[in-house]
Structure 1
Amino acid sequence: MIKKLKILGFVVALSFIYILNYATLKTSISKCLPLIKNSEQFYAEINGQKYPKIIPSFFNASINFDCLNSNLNKPKLILLWNEYGPWVDWKYGLGKYEPFQKRKCPVYNCEITKDKTRLDESDLVLVHMRGDYSKLPLKRSYKTRMVFLITESPIHSKEFHPHLNGLFNQTATFNLDSDYSPFYYSNIGFKWELNEQFDETRNYLEGKTKLAAILATNCHAHSKRIEYIQEMQKYSNQIDILGGCGKSCNISGENRFLSKLCREKISKEYKFLLAFENSMCKDYITEKLFDTLVFDIVPVVLGYGPYDQFIPRSAYINALDFKSPQHLVEYLIYLEKNSTAYNEYFKWKKYIKKTDNEYKQFCDMCIKLNLENFYGIQKSQVNDLETFWGYKKNCLTPQIENGIFNFIPINYTHKCTIC
């Protein structure tokens, strides 16, 4: 009898422990909420506009990153289907967790592989559309999504055959309509946050002796940016072309022309950095702008992207706002002679802080994939690649006449009214 009671007591104890553990587990799961209610996201009011207008996933204060990392025994799998230039690991790394942890991505519950035998267990299959995509998998599991990925503009892309329509489920491009867009495409990033060290009394013109410069290696860009700057040089001898298309930056070391040190040097000597894109395509904004923002220099942009979605209108000068390169130069000369007006372009920096974290599209992918544990698989189809990515429908081309640059749709000959 005593033996039976002991056994019964043991069973009851085990049952109690099981119930207690189950209750604890259930409580733990219920506490793991992917979104934080009433989260306080930092915003700044600048010229009547609220910034940031666009919040990348990795800076979104409403996401509970610890919750998304709580199921490490089931990491999301990202398959690299083809090559990305000479980099086998796409310059990010292969393996579980480490590639994301190394870059301080707030969610690291993911794995990157090149093993195509793992196709059906993959969540994303990344296809670099400037690589060899001739042998794409037509059949795959429901959760496996094909991602159309390209980091250049449509001008530098192939014309994609209609048979690719409907094959891809998601996109990773500069287009803001993409599922994964490389916000703040730069190795030198910034975060919207109150900067207590910002000096509102500083004169940013002090110590600068030259007017403007560009860093460029592509000397025959479709945007005709070098020709535009050469036209500017007719009205000032203080405008320089640096890099592979012009003078040396006189910085020693690897990749000296486009290095951080070169940009830093320019920011100390010049009043303006010409952040001119090589292509005039929809949403195409690259590191030429974002690398500039952490330095004390005013960017002058030439592109077809929505700049004011990322930074306030008072943070940059848009060449398209001027009738000609001559008129742009005249305005830059006015600013260099008027410190009050020039310093207005730095007021917004009271609300940003520099961050060295290398947040890339992979980080955004990992966050969104882990959110699917709570909200289900996000799947769609890209049915018309020509409309989404074709250069004829997404890019402008320059027409130059008597020193005036008009950027018009490639399909048309009339002047672009939005320019």
Structure 2
Amino acid sequence: MSKDIWRSQGLRAIVSISSAIAISYYIYLNHVMEFSDRVKKENGEEHVVLNRTNVTHIILWWNQPIWVAPFEKKCGNCITSTNRGDFNKSSAVVFSLADGNMGTKPPIENIKRNQNQIWVAFSLETNVQNSWIRDYKNKHWKYVFNWTWNYRPSADIFMPYGRVSERLKPLSKNYSMIFQRKNKFAAWAVSHCNAHSLRDKFVKKMNMCLQKQSIDIFGKCGPLRISKSRLPTLLNNDYKFYLAFENAFCDDYVTEKIFANYNNDIIIVVRGKANYTNIFPKGSFINTKDFRTISDLVRFLNEVSENETLYSNYLIQKDKFQAWGKLKEQYKQSICDICRNLNDPYLKKKTIFDAEEELGQCIKPNDI
């Protein structure tokens, strides 16, 4: 074989090896770049507000609920406003579905909107409670919202009525003493009578099944009266059960009733459409859904009320956790979540078809 042939083959080998190295390096570099992008995306939420403090985002309440007025008005580089004159320079505009005054049409045609502006559909009430409001159900409000802000975990801005977290150290109590001091069966505080959930009829049937015991009803829907500040003490000292029955059977709808009383020395009985075990630890509450009939439920409650071990086990499990139910804190967290999203350069804008659908399905219960 001539030297020229050897030289030619050697060059081809060198070129092949060089090409292989170049391709491998390209693939490696591409993976590095992709990984770097992922890291930026994952860390972006933590640092983006700090890195963009020269930008001020206005979150405009188009029709702010009255109860929101005294709450936090800023988070990071974001501030809230109720001045509609800020509309054009606002990064986000929040429309409260439950408060009306939205108008039958959006304030501006969709085609003329600032396409960088985010429109948010807010509601802590269900479609049942909002049934008297027609504004957001109008066809003109379809395809205009970008984010949802409500009590559902699927919302873009999730604002529950409360949260539950595990205690670093479970509480230690004299559970026998707690059981012994309880001299009353169950309490129910309610002011929304004849609710969509038929809870009034449910409680009436429970009372009919009870023989030696009874459910004491406080508030506008019952004969008993007590101040809101005194109720926790009464529940702690006297009652074995507290009924946290929702006014509507709607997806993920869990209101303050259970969060406000979860930390008390009492067993909570829940009734609603939500999946309660996704929120509260199993064995820390009693769900009416777990019983075939109201009679079966009452029979079980009687059994627990008379058995110190059974009763104490519920309290012991519950005392491993703590509930947080201040709406002020939930609101503050939501404003910060909105601000974090507004500062996220990787967040893709979306369009929501129907704000009414996003609040989930409500049904008439079938347990009466």
Distance 2:229 2:202 in 1: 25
Kindly indicate whether the alpha-carbon contact (under 8 Å) linking 2:252 and 2:273 is maintained by their aligned counterparts in 1: yes
Q: Deviations over 1:71-94 (max 9, x none)?
A: 54434321010142xx2x73344x
Judging changes above 3 Å, is the alpha-carbon distance between structure 1 residues 109 and 63 closer, same or farther for their aligned structure 2 residues?
same
Judging changes above 3 Å, is the alpha-carbon distance between structure 1 residues 190 and 388 closer, same or farther for their aligned structure 2 residues?
closer
Q: Deviations over 1:354-387 (max 9, x none)?
A: 6586322442232342354344344211113454
1:363 counterpart letter in structure 2? Q
Is 1:312 aligned to residue 312 of structure 2? no
How far did residue 127 of structure 1 move? 0.6
User: Which of 56, 79, 94 is 1:126 aligned to?
Assistant: 94
Q: 2:266 maps to which residue?
A: 297
Q: 1:240 maps to which residue?
A: 216
Q: Within 5 Å, which residues of 2 pair with 1:172-211?
A: 172-183=149-160, 185-186=161-162, 191-195=165-169, 198-199=171-172, 202-203=175-176, 204-211=178-185
2:339 counterpart letter in structure 1? L
User: Which of 99, 111, 120 is 2:73 aligned to?
Assistant: 99
How far did residue 202 of structure 1 move? 2.5
User: Which of 315, 319, 340 is 1:370 aligned to?
Assistant: 340
Any idea what SS the aligned residue of 2:300 has? helix
How far did residue 228 of structure 1 move? 0.6
Judging changes above 3 Å, is the alpha-carbon distance between structure 1 residues 228 and 110 closer, same or farther for their aligned structure 2 residues?
same
Q: 1:167 maps to which residue?
A: 144
Distance 1:166 1:92 in 2: 32
Task: Answer 1 or 2: which has greater helix percent.
Answer: 2
Q: Deviations over 1:234-264 (max 9, x none)?
A: 12232111111113343xxxxx3xx243133
Distance 2:254 2:325 in 1: 19
Judging changes above 3 Å, is the alpha-carbon distance between structure 1 residues 200 and 378 closer, same or farther for their aligned structure 2 residues?
farther
Distance 2:247 2:121 in 1: 22
Judging changes above 3 Å, is the alpha-carbon distance between structure 1 residues 355 and 343 closer, same or farther for their aligned structure 2 residues?
same
Q: 1:381 maps to which residue?
A: 351
Distance 1:311 1:180 in 2: 21
Kindly indicate whether the alpha-carbon contact (under 8 Å) linking 1:195 and 1:352 is maintained by their aligned counterparts in 2: no
User: Which of 119, 133, 154 is 1:146 aligned to?
Assistant: 119
Any idea what SS the aligned residue of 1:233 has? helix
Q: 1:262 maps to which residue?
A: 231
How far did residue 128 of structure 1 move? 1.0
How far did residue 286 of structure 1 move? 0.3
How far did residue 388 of structure 1 move? 2.9
1:291 counterpart letter in structure 2? A
1:223 counterpart letter in structure 2? S
Distance 2:325 2:254 in 1: 19
Kindly indicate whether the alpha-carbon contact (under 8 Å) linking 1:169 and 1:381 is maintained by their aligned counterparts in 2: yes
Structure number with larger C-alpha Rg = 2
Distance 1:178 1:193 in 2: 27
Equivalenced residue count is 317
Distance 1:268 1:201 in 2: 13
Q: Deviations over 1:254-303 (max 9, x none)?
A: xx3xx243133223211111000000111111001111112111110110
Q: 2:254 maps to which residue?
A: 285
How far did residue 63 of structure 1 move? 7.0
TM normalised by structure 2 equals 0.77
TM normalised by structure 1 equals 0.68
Distance 2:318 2:304 in 1: 18
Any idea what SS the aligned residue of 2:352 has? coil
User: Which of 321, 338, 350 is 2:290 aligned to?
Assistant: 321
1:144 counterpart letter in structure 2? Q
User: Which of 21, 35, 55 is 1:74 aligned to?
Assistant: 55
Distance 2:118 2:289 in 1: 39
Greater mean deviation of Cα atoms: 201-210 or 268-277:
201-210
Unaligned runs of 5+ in 2: 1-39
Judging changes above 3 Å, is the alpha-carbon distance between structure 1 residues 157 and 375 closer, same or farther for their aligned structure 2 residues?
same
Q: Deviations over 1:287-329 (max 9, x none)?
A: 0111111211111011001211111121111111112222211
Any idea what SS the aligned residue of 1:398 has? coil
Distance 1:231 1:287 in 2: 24
How far did residue 227 of structure 1 move? 1.0
Q: 1:30 maps to which residue?
A: none
Is 1:90 aligned to residue 97 of structure 2? no
Q: Which runs of structure 1 show a deviation greater than 6 angstroms over 4 or more consecutive aligned residues? A: 33-36
Distance 2:332 2:350 in 1: 19
Distance 1:172 1:67 in 2: 21
2:199 counterpart letter in structure 1? R
Judging changes above 3 Å, is the alpha-carbon distance between structure 1 residues 180 and 270 closer, same or farther for their aligned structure 2 residues?
same
